[in-house]
Structure 1
Amino acid sequence: MTKASKIPRRYAGLLMGLLMALSMGLIMSFVVTVINLGLRGDFLVKWMIAYAGSLPIGLPTALLVTPIVKSIVDRMTE
C-alpha cells in the first residue's frame, strides 16, 4: 500500500472498531445460524440475513466499546 493510499492514523480507532464489528458479526452470525438451523440448502441466504440484521447492533457497539477497552488495556499494561 502506498503512502498516498493509506488512511490517516487519527482514524485508527474508528477503523479498528469497524473491522472488528464486520469480522465478529460475520463469524458470530455464522455460528448462531449453524446452531439454530444447521447446514441446509438455504443456509447462505439465512446466514446473510442474520449478518445484515446483526450489523445495526454490532457496528455502533464496537465503535463505542473499542476506545473504552483500549483505555482499560492501556491502564493494565506497561
Structure 2
Amino acid sequence: MTTTRKRGKLPARYAAIVSPLVLSLLMTFIVSFISTLKSLGPQPNLPSVWLTAWGLSWLVAFPTLLLVLPAVRRIVGWLCELPAR
C-alpha cells in the first residue's frame, strides 16, 4: 500500500509576495544569462560570472517588483477589461 503525502501550500495571503519572488527569480535568471553570455561570450568561467550577475540583478529586481507591482496592476486595469464573473 502506498501512502501519498499531501503537499502543504502557503496561504493565499502570501501570493502578493510569492508572485513577484518567482517572477523576479525567473526573469533575472534568463536575462542575466543572455546578457552575460553576449558580453563575455562562451568561456570556462561563464557560470560563476553569470551567477554573480544573477544574484546582483535579483537583489534589485525583487524589491523593485514589490514597489511597482501595484502601479502595474492599475495600468493593466486601465488597459484591459476585467473578466465577467
Normalising by structure 2, we get a TM-score of 0.78
Which structure has the bigger radius of gyration?
2
Q: What letter matches 1:69 in structure 2?
A: V
Spell out structure 1 runs of 4+ moving beyond 4 A: none
Secondary structure (helix, strand or coil) at the match of 2:10 reads: coil
Q: Which has the higher contact order (CA 8 A, sep 6+)?
A: 1
The offset of 1:75, in angstroms, is 3.1
Match of 1:29 among 11, 27, 32: 32
Q: Distance in 1 between matches of 2:34 and 2:65?
A: 19
Using a 3 Å threshold, how does the CA distance of structure 1 residues 54 and 67 change in structure 2: closer, same or farther? same
TM-score, normalised via structure 1 length? 0.84
Letter in 2 for 1:36: S
Gaps of 5+ in 1: none
Partner of 2:69: 66
Question: Which structure is higher in helix share?
Answer: 1
CA RMSD of aligned residues (A): 1.8
Segments of structure 2 that go 5 or more residues without pairing to the other structure are none
